[in-house]
Amino acid sequence: MFSGNLVPSHEEVSGIFTTINNELNVSSVEDRLFVATVKNIGKTIKLFCVKCEQAAKADADASQIVAYPTEAQKQNVQIVNILADFQDGLNRLVGDTNNKKVDVLLEEGKDIKGQMVATVAPLLSSIEDASEAIFLTAHKEDFGQEGEVKQPTTSLYIKELQSFLERISKDFLQNFSCKNFIEAELRPLAEKIIHQFILHASLIRPLGSAGAQKLGSDCAQIEFSLSLLLGPTGYSSSGPTGLNTIGSTYQLLRAFRSMIFMKLEDFQAYTGLGSIVPHSVCLHLMISRCPEVMPSPQATLGWGVARYARWLQKHDEREKLLLIQGSLESYVAAARNKKEKNYIPEYPVLLSILQQGLDVNQLE
């Protein structure tokens, strides 16, 4: 079946289970023979997974997403699809066999799902990296405009993201026949994309009133963009669909959108602070609306946005808050040096939310 590094066909996998069923039927007349047969089937399952692992590609050709799928990527899709066929065959075998001794085969079958995940990982990782690169370009756009906008225009980076995800869905993801599996793998990816968006959206500076309307529109467009991966958001007879399948992260996106339009006094009273929206996200968003005298956290360190974003992704909430605290302290020191009589109106609210966050995220 695996000669010449070829991926087995659906018919060949069906043939395996026809043979297995015949062996189980023959051996069922004697208990020790039946147990020995089940052990050999377990070895067959492991061997099948090993052969699929050897046939899978994990090089640059398997992870590229700038062109049409390569032969390596097409082979990986075939491997995932045939592993899914094998898993279905195994589930039917165990379900149809009236002997509990075959249940041990489901434990052996755990390697199947693991190999499917490993085979699709290079593609999903590249999609995540490309999405983050697109979000970085948001900082090149102008969000500092003031005033009212009747119809906010869609940001260029959002248009690029939508075009990118539409192409990925059409050229790469539609080739997977195991829809339930690929949808389950796309949910964590969608969550990561939402977190990337919120991270970068909260760091956009300056953020004027018209820019806030534009950013709020971007939040709605992100929902549409992710429907290209997860399908329409709603509910069906089998449960939630689309973004509703990633409840807490979707809730964060909706909450962040409403927070964009909050007034200064509303931030401190927001009940979802800390439970839905992290304190660090709220503080970043508030700083983006502050006068220039309040330095951005990355500016106090002499970092660019890209480096700061990478740092945020690698550190916990308390570490983020402590770094933001350094930004506020830098502002206070500068104000004292200039002998300013009053702090900016945002400062007391920033300090209060920072302290609240530090209290919640105390070291254990």
Query: Which of the pair, 362 or 38, is modelled with greater confidence?
Result: 38
Burial 188-201 (b: 16+ CB within 10 A, else e): ebbbbbbbbbbbbb
Q: Mean pLDDT, to the nearest integer, of 100-116?
A: 91
| Across 87-91, 95-99, 110-114, 138-142, least confident range | 95-99
The pLDDT score that the predictor gives to residue 4 is: 63
Structure tokens at 171: 């050229």
Calculate the CA dihedral of residues 81, 191, 158, 61 and round it to 10 degrees. -40
Cα 64 to Cα 10, 169, 190: the distances in Å are 27, 14, 19
Q: What is the mean pLDDT of the chain?
A: 93
CB atoms within 10 A of CB 228: 18
User: What tens digit of pLDDT does each residue of 208-220 get?
Assistant: 999 999 999 999 9
Does residue 127 have a pLDDT over 80?
Answer: yes
Q: How confident is the model at residue 1 (pLDDT cuts 50, 70, 90)?
A: confident
User: What tens digit of pLDDT does each residue of 277-297 get?
Assistant: 999 999 999 999 999 999 999
Does residue 364 have a pLDDT over 70?
Answer: no
CB proximity list for 234: less than 8 A, separation 6 or greater: 240, 241, 242, 244
Q: How confident is the model at residue 238 (pLDDT cuts 50, 70, 90)?
A: confident
Q: Mean pLDDT, to the nearest integer, of 31-49?
A: 94
Q: How confident is the model at residue 150 (pLDDT cuts 50, 70, 90)?
A: confident
The pLDDT score that the predictor gives to residue 5 is: 58
Distance CA 197, CA 191 (A): 10
Structure tokens at 321: 């808050």
* Closest by CA position to 277, among listed 298, 261, 258: 258
The pLDDT score that the predictor gives to residue 300 is: 93
Ordered alpha helix ranges (H), 241-304: 247-260, 264-269, 279-288, 297-301
Residue type, 339: K
* Closest by CA position to 298, among listed 314, 285, 309, 286: 309
- pTM for this model (two decimals): 0.93
- Name residue, tokens 């089940």: 38
Does residue 43 have a pLDDT over 70?
Answer: yes
What sign for the dihedral angle of Cα 136, 142, 148, 150? negative
Distance CA 123, CA 147 (A): 42
Q: Mean pLDDT, to the nearest integer, of 45-50?
A: 93
Does residue 144 have a pLDDT over 70?
Answer: yes
Calculate the CA dihedral of residues 163, 166, 168, 173 and round it to 10 degrees. 170
State what percent of residues in the chain have pLDDT above 70: 99
